[in-house]
Each structure stands twice: as structure tokens, then as C-alpha cells.
Amino acid sequence: MIIFTHIPKTAGTTLKYILRNNFGVRHIDAAKVKKDIYTEDDLNFARKIFNRPLALSGHNLIDPASNIKEPGAKIITVLRDPLTRCASNYQDEVLRGKLKLSFEDWIAKEAHQNLSVKIISGSDNIEKAKTLLRESYHWVGITERFDESLKLLCIQINEPLNLQYRRMITAGSNEIKSSILNDPKSLELLKKHNALDQELYNYALMEIFLPAIKEHKEVMSKISLPAQKKSTWNDFKYRRSVGYNKFVYRQLIKLLKK
């Protein structure tokens, strides 16, 4: 099983599209349990509903190496430059979530600080997060180098994936994000509250991603990516995955109070 630890605003929804489009009704959307942390018990319940599931993804897959005991699982994630990711996260909550808080008040909340480290390790333990990425994760992608990351994905998880994708949930305007990144005071707040995430990102880029690019350079040169899709309308597996998770899995969770 592929377990995708989805850190918000890292192109993760686009990657989840790829998983849905490849695995259809054998892909589990962990968000459907409406819990902060998806556990092994949740997965055991899902197994009763999904026929031999092959992929699991969600924002609530917190430290899955510890919380989900799945022999042979291939754990994957994508990291993004922390300052850009955090500013984009705030922008998304304003534009799509109708957030009214100022950026200063929003970033002051602990839940929005060093989010990548917290999701990977289950706490703000930077050394644990590094160790997990190095020893427990089969693949660590980098948002800023997404196409290269996808080529590495096929190689490192050894799966012949259909890599055609459509970028999902892209902002209609980046004005809010840009204003934060270009404001000295806001930028200082970003740096202060994402110092651990910055350390983790630098580590993943320099010690994991770039060495993997070097190691697999020849094989990667032979992998071509399909053109980006303009629509998901004809993606039968994708639409079945979305529908099954929403109208079967989610409804059974509510009915049985799981």
C-alpha cells in the first residue's frame, strides 16, 4: 500500500489526483473519517469497505510510520519551501475558507507553525522528522521540482503509474501570498514560526532529493511525462474514487459512528 502523508499546499491534491486516477476505488481518502489523526483502527475499518486497498492519502496521516502498522507500506510525501507554503496556506484559508483573521493573528496560532515537521513526526521533533524521512519514507518529492519528483516516484516506489495530471486547487490570485512574502514584518514572522520546517526542507532537498536525482539520473532521462490534462471529466477511475469515498465510505462512517 502507498501511504501519502499530505502536507497542505505542497501540490499534494494534484498528487492525490494521480493516486485516485491510478487506483480508483482502491484508494482511501483518510479525510473522510473527520479525525485529526488517522489510526490503524481506522484503516482496519476501511478494509471492510474497500477491496484490497492500494493507496491511502490525507492531511490527517500524522506520523503514519508510528500510527499505522502496515507491513510493506510505501510511505511518501511532498515538501515545499516553508515560507511560500505557509503564506499560500493562509491565502487559501482566506480565499476558500473565508477566514477573517489577520495574517499576524493566524500565524501566532501554534497549529500553523512548523506544520511539516509536526505532520511528519507527530510533534515538533525535528530530528525525529529527519530520521523518518531518511529511514521510513520511500519517496520525498519537492514541490518546486514537481515533474522531476514524479519521475523519481515511479522509480523509488517501483510502480508503473500513469503520471498524467491536472493541477488541482490552484489560487485564482496570489495577491495575498505575494503581499506577505514582500512585507518585511510578515516575512520575519514566517521565518520565526517555520524555522524547523526550513531545516527539514533543506535537509530533504540536500540529503535526500538531490542525491536521488543524481543516482537515478539516467533512468529519469528515459521517463517522459504526459501533457497536463485540462479536465478530469473523462477520468473514470478518478471519478469512481471520489464518489466511492464520498457516498459509500463517508456514509458508512457516519452511520456506524466510526
Q: 171, exposed or middle or buried, with CB in 10 Å at 0-12, 13-18, 19+?
A: middle
Identity of the amino acid at 170: T
258, 33 contact by CB (below 8 A): yes
Tens-digit pLDDT profile for residues 85-110: 999 999 999 999 899 999 999 999 99
pLDDT of 232 higher than 70: no
H-assigned helices in 24-145: 40-47, 64-67, 82-95, 103-107, 115-121, 126-135
Least confident piece of the model among 4-8, 13-17, 78-82, 231-235: 231-235
> What pLDDT score does 169 carry?
63
82, 10 contact by CB (below 8 A): no
| Higher pLDDT among residues 63 and 235, named by residue | 63
Tell me the average pLDDT of the chain.
Answer: 94
Mean pLDDT (whole number) for 198-224: 97
Least confident piece of the model among 98-102, 214-218, 230-234: 230-234
**Domain locations in the chain?**
2-80+123-171+201-256
> What pLDDT score does 258 carry?
80
At 76, the pLDDT band (50, 70, 90 cuts) reads: very high
79, 142 contact by CB (below 8 A): yes
> What pLDDT score does 171 carry?
67
At 216, the pLDDT band (50, 70, 90 cuts) reads: very high
Q: 125, exposed or middle or buried, with CB in 10 Å at 0-12, 13-18, 19+?
A: middle
pTM for the predicted model, two decimal places: 0.94
Tens-digit pLDDT profile for residues 109-151: 999 999 999 999 999 999 999 999 999 999 999 999 999 999 9
